[in-house]
Structure 1
Amino acid sequence: MEIFDQNSFTIFLMLAALAYVLLSTFLQKKFGKSERLMEINKELNAISKKIGEASKRKDTKEMDELMKKQGPMLSEMMSLQMRMLPITLGLFIPLIMLLTAIEPYTSDDFKVALYDDGLLAHCDAVANDLIYSGCFILNSTQKGAWVVSAEAFINNGSVAQNSTALYVQGGKPSDVYLVSKQHGILEMVLGTKAVSISPYADRQEYSLGQAVSLHAKVSEQVDAASATVNNGTFYFVDLPFALPILNIQRLVGATGFFILASFVFSILISIFRGALKKANVKLPSLAFGKGKPPEQNPPEQNPPAQ
C-alpha cells in the first residue's frame, strides 16, 4: 500500500525541500561558520580587484603584499568549505534515501530473472555468450513508456546497472529517465576492471498482452543478472517550461524534483534575507545554550509603612 499519490507526494517533496534548506542553512551558520565564509569571499573579491589595479600600475611590491594576504584567506575558505560538506551530505543523503523509499508507483514493479543458459524457455539463444535473457507478458493495462532496468551481480553485489525503454501503444523517449551506473567509485579507486551491462528488447513498440523478449549484454562474466520492470507507472513532475541548458521539462523520480525545489527555495530565502537586511530588519536567532538572557533585577519594593 502506497502512502502518497502524485499530487500529495509533490507537496510533500516541496515541504521536505524547504525544511532541508532551512535546516542546512542553520547548521552551516552554527557549525560551519557560513557567515565567515561570506566575509572571506567579499574580502577576496576586494583583494583581487586591488591586485588587478596594482598590475595595471605595475606595482610589484603592492601585488606581493596583497598576494600574501590572499594565501591564508584562501586556505581558511577551503577549510570552511570542507567543514560544511559533511553537514550538507549528512542531511542530503539520508533524506534522498527516505524520499526514494516512499516514492509512489513502485509497489507494482516486478522483477524478471535473466539467464545465459541457451534455453528457449528463457528466450536465450546461445549459452555462455554473455547475453542474459528473459521473457514476460505485458499483462498490465498501462499504456505509454515503460522502463526496464537491468542489473549485473558478482558475489551478491551489484556491479552494473543500465536501463532501456519500451513503448506500449504510445509514449516517447522524453517521458522517461533512463539510469545508467557502469563504473562504481570503489572500482575506480581500486583500479579494477568495471563491468558494463546493455539491456535491449526484441522490439521497442508493443501492444498490451504481447510477450517481451528481454536481453542484457554484459562485458565480463558475472554471477547473475536480473531486470526490474516499472509496469509503466512512475512518479514524475512536468514543469511549465524546459530547464535552461539541460533542456528537460519532465523530472522523473523524487530526487530531481527535490533538488530543483531545494535550489529554488534557497534562492528565494536568500532574496528574502537580503531584502530584510536592506530594510534593517533582524530575524530572531536561537541561542541553543550559547548564552544566557540578561538577568533582570526584581523591582524595588518600598519598605512597609510603620
Structure 2
Amino acid sequence: MKNDLGELSAFAIVAEERNFTRAAARLGISQSALSHSIRGLEKRLGLQLLARTTRSVAPTAAGSTLLLELAPALERIEQALAETRKQKDTPSGRIRLIIPRTATKAVIVPKLAQFARSYPEIVLEVTSSNDPVDLVAGEYDAGVQLGEFIQKDMIAVRVTRELRLAVVGSPEYFKLNSIPKHPQDLKDHSCIGFRFSKGLYRWEFEKGRKSLTVSPQGPASFDDPDLVIQAVLEGVGIGTAMEDSLKGLMAEGRLVQVLKDWCPSFPGYFLYYPSRRNQPAALGALIDSLRLDS
C-alpha cells in the first residue's frame, strides 16, 4: 500500500496524543491533511481505527490491536534511522575494504592500532584480493589498489609514495646461474610468476626510452606475493615483489636484486571510493588516517 508507513506513523501519533490538533503540530502538517491521511488508511483497511467525537479521540478495538504490533515496529524503525543518521556525523559502523595483501601490510596494518584507538566505534572488514574489482557490485565501501588499475570514475587518494618493483633471486640460485644483465636474459632463467585471476602478471621493464615486457617462464606461479618470495628464498628461481617489502631480506644478504636499472618507480597505492556526496563519517575518518600526508 502506497504511503502506508507515513500514514501508520501518523495514526500511532494521533492515538498517543488522543488529539488531532496536537498530533498535527507534532507532525508539522495541517489538521485537515492529517484527518485526510487517517481516513485514507481506514478506507484501504476497511476498518475504523480511531473513534472520534467533538471532544475526544481514542483507538477502536481494531486500532488498539494494530497498535500492539505497530508501536514496537515503529520504534525499531526510528532506532534504525537514528543509527543511520549517526554514521553521517559520528565515525562509527562498518567499513568494507577490498585490498591486495601486500597493500594491507604496507598501508593498513601500520596504522591500524592508532586508528582503532582514535575511532573505537568503527570496524574495518578487510578482504584481500589482487584483482581490480567493481566496488559497487561487490558491496565494498572503498578499496586500495595501484593507480593504474583504478577506474577513472573513482575518487582516489594517494596512500603511499612512489613504489618500485624489485627483481630478486637467492645467492644460492645465482651460484648456479648467471646474473641477468638485460630483461631478455630472463628467458634463460626459472622465473616465479605472480598470478591474477585473469592470468599471469607480465613483468614490465623500462630504461630511458626503451621499454619491454617479459612473460615469466618457470616451474611455478602463485597468487600470493609472499609465496613468490618464499619460493625465491628456497632457490627455485627469480621473482618479483615491491622493493620496500624486500629491503630487510636484501640487507641480510638472503636476496640479490638484479636489473635494478630497468625497474623505474611508479605511482603507488591509492585508496579509492565511488563518491564524495553524503560520505559517512567513518569513511572520511579512514581517508584522513590513511592519506599519505597524515
Q: With the length of structure 2 as denominator, give the TM-score of the two structures.
A: 0.21
Q: Relative contact order: is structure 1 or structure 2 higher (C-alpha 8 Å, sep ≥ 6)?
A: 2
Q: Which has the larger radius of gyration?
A: 2
Q: With the length of structure 1 as denominator, give the TM-score of the two structures.
A: 0.20
